[in-house]
Amino acid sequence: MVNIAVLGYGTVGSGVVEVLNTNRELIDLRAGEEIRVKYVLDLRDFPGDPIQEKVVHDFDTILNDPEVSIVVEVMGGLKPAYDFTKAALLKGKSVCSSNKELVASHGVEFLEIAKEKQVNYLFEASCGGGIPIIRALNESLTPEDVIEVSGILNGTTNFILTEMRDKGADFEDVLKEAQDLGYAERNPEADVEGHDACRKVAILSSIAFGKTVKYQDIYTEGISHITLQDMEYAKELNMAIKLLANGYSLPEGGDVSYYAMVAPFLVRHDHPLYSVDGVFNAIFVRGNTLGDTMFYGSGAGSLPTASAVVGDVISAARNAGKTLPCFWKGEKLTLSSNDKAVRQFFIRVGEDRAEEAKNIFRAERLVRSERVTGEVGLITGMLSEKEFADKAESFGGVLQRIRINQ
Ligand code: HSE
């Protein structure tokens, strides 16, 4: 029998218990042993809930119980999750986590301790909820030189952008709807300002490129400035506005440069990410010999996220005494400045300045919408971020700019 402890009985923690109960027989079969929840750590009590008798309030009860070999950390946040995770690993217990904030800031430190102690630190659920992307990067995609890992990594913002487009509702109204439906947090800043997606792409890029990508180094822009006018132009262009989190490499002067960014992008209709709508997530991976592949599925929610956590628990149980490989190493990956990144931009300018803007931004296309008056949209020529920023500053009348996914 494998005894586990679940830290945090919130959305994901209760989902973990439910997944284990729903699929008990096949999970035990696949783990090779019976998996039993011995403790649930939470500040609260849950009278009437079958797990109530397992609830403990003191982490030391779990830490000092030699029968507990796997700790599920689904508390979120840095404190006290950092201390609990470190202590559990040092004590020789494997830890399975859905906590992207903690993985992005301390993942490599935990991987090193896990290796030293011959246990596992697994975090499939930290990126893309139920989508099996981390295991794919660490196992199936190992022959590949991964050149890009990009995607829609936040369900809340994808839901908001989809509803704005389909219902013509503005950002604030849809955000409220998302909160009422339980998709968005009461404090939605981490989602809508792109911080959540930033942490996820830092984790995925670190594994894909084999060194530590610091989330603090990633330029991050959210979606709170996206308007209904932007949606109208996107429709005219047959493109969709998506919050993309990108990590990619480019050969430059005999060397390879790495870039990362989180920002709203216009995605062309023939790109696989165009049709990823609602709360779904998708991760697009480009390998040098494989070409393109995409992982699509439920990026958030109690049971999908819990399913990924339980998958890690099964892996940890099956691999007791052995540390599974993860190709994320401690050395820092220096990202190139986005100033050098070259792409097209969509901009909106006043009708009276259309001709001037066309020349300055080497516009390739003008776009109008009958629902938006007094202004015009333009697709610029290929410009570096720096060139674009300089031109926009000297022009002085850019009403909006959205990058175009190349
Ligand atoms: N707030 C996150 C999202 C939850 O909306 O995608 C899953 O990490």
Residues serving a catalytic function are: 200
Could you report the per-residue pLDDT of 18-40, keeping only the tens digit for each?
A: 999 999 999 999 999 999 999 99
Candidate from 23-37, 363-377, 385-399 with smallest mean pLDDT: 363-377
**Site residues for ligand 1, CB cut-off 6 Å:** 129, 154-156, 191, 196, 299-300
Could you report the per-residue pLDDT of 54-68, keeping only the tens digit for each?
A: 999 999 999 999 999
Which residues have a Cβ under 8 Å from the Cβ of 131 and sit 6 or more positions away? 281, 282, 283, 295, 296, 297, 298, 299, 308
Pick from 124, 131, 156 the residue to mutate for probing ligand 1's pocket: most ligand atoms within 8 Å of its CB: 156
Which pLDDT does position 179 carry in this prediction? 81
According to CATH, the topology of domain 341-404 is Alpha-Beta Plaits (3.30.70)
Domain range 139-297, its CATH number among 3.30.360.10, 3.40.50.150, 3.70.10.10, 3.90.550.10: 3.30.360.10
Mean per-residue pLDDT for 398-404?
98
Q: How far apart (Å, rounded) are the C-alpha atoms in residues 15 and 307?
A: 8
Residues of the chain with pLDDT > 70: what percent? Answer: 99
Whether 252 shows a pLDDT value over 90: the answer reads: no
Cβ–Cβ under 8 Å, residues 259 and 244: no
Which pLDDT does position 300 carry in this prediction? 86
Q: Where are the domains of the chain?
A: 2-129+302-318, 139-297, 341-404
Residue nearest to atom 7 of ligand 1 (CA): 300
Domain range 2-129+302-318, its CATH number among 3.90.1420.10, 3.40.640.10, 3.40.50.720, 3.40.1390.10: 3.40.50.720
pTM of the shown model? 0.96
Could you report the per-residue pLDDT of 106-165, keeping only the tens digit for each?
A: 999 999 999 999 999 999 999 999 999 999 999 999 999 999 999 999 999 999 999 999
Mean per-residue pLDDT for 372-396?
97
Q: How far apart (Å, rounded) are the C-alpha atoms in residues 120 and 93?
A: 8
Could you report the per-residue pLDDT of 187-207, keeping only the tens digit for each?
A: 789 999 999 999 999 999 999
DSSP state, 139? I
Residue 191 Cα to ligand 1 middle (Å)? 7
Same-fold call for 2-129+302-318 versus 341-404 = no
Residue 380 Cα to ligand 1 middle (Å)? 33
Residue nearest to atom 2 of ligand 1 (CA): 154
Q: How far apart (Å, rounded) are the C-alpha atoms in residues 242 and 37?
A: 39
